[in-house]
Amino acid sequence: MTPPEIIASEAAKQVLALRGLGALAEKMGIELLELSAERAVATMPVEGNTQPLGLVHGGAYVVLAETLGSFAANVAAGEGRYAVGIEINASHSRSATEGIVTGVCTAISLGRTLTVHEIAVSDESGRRLSTIRITNLIRDAK
């Protein structure tokens, strides 16, 4: 099966080409579908990302969210700059036991030195599973 074409801004395509998705995201089966500074979307399989009770591990939701929020922030940072996460919080409201979960990352604030994104993770029925907020610091590359 061929992976879907990623919907991405030109700046996002440059960030992806330069950095790739990352080893952890790849191990977790995260597939990026859309990427810009304002919005990013990815999916993650439940299988392989569960805790002992068979529920998606809360940390897996956070990895999905940080992948999306950090990439979006790096697109916002622009050429010659990069973003690093400085704060993340998550509230898990329910969990999935099968199928695919989807993270939708939306920019709350895109400043010159800080970005804030909210990531809503939902199941295949559209039920919200987790709400995560990430703040990234934008730095100049040396």
pLDDT tens readout for residues 116-134: 999 999 999 999 999 999 9
Catalytic residue among 10, 47, 66, 124: 66
What is the C-alpha to C-alpha distance for residues 116 and 124, in angstroms, rounded to an integer?
26
- More confident site: 137 or 9: 137
Please tell me the predicted confidence (pLDDT) of residue 2.
46
What pairing do the DSSP bridges indicate for beta strands 7-8 and 31-35? Answer: parallel
| Percent of the chain surpassing pLDDT 70 | 97
- pTM of the entire structure? 0.92
Q: Mean per-residue pLDDT for 22-27?
A: 94
Superfamily of domain 7-140: Hotdog Thioesterase (3.10.129.10)
Tokens at residue 93, please?
A: 């409201």
Please tell me the predicted confidence (pLDDT) of residue 15.
84
Tell which residue, 111, 109, 38, 114, has the closest CA to residue 71: 38
Please tell me the predicted confidence (pLDDT) of residue 104.
98
What is the C-alpha to C-alpha distance for residues 25 and 89, in angstroms, rounded to an integer?
19
Q: Mean per-residue pLDDT for 24-30?
A: 96
Please tell me the predicted confidence (pLDDT) of residue 142.
83
Domain definitions of the chain by residue range: 7-140
pLDDT tens readout for residues 40-85: 999 999 999 999 999 999 999 999 999 999 999 999 999 999 999 9
What is the C-alpha to C-alpha distance for residues 85 and 73, in angstroms, rounded to an integer?
9
Q: Mean per-residue pLDDT for 94-120?
A: 97
66 as an active site residue: the answer is yes
| Whether the Cβ atoms of residue 65 and residue 129 lie closer than 8 Å to each other | no
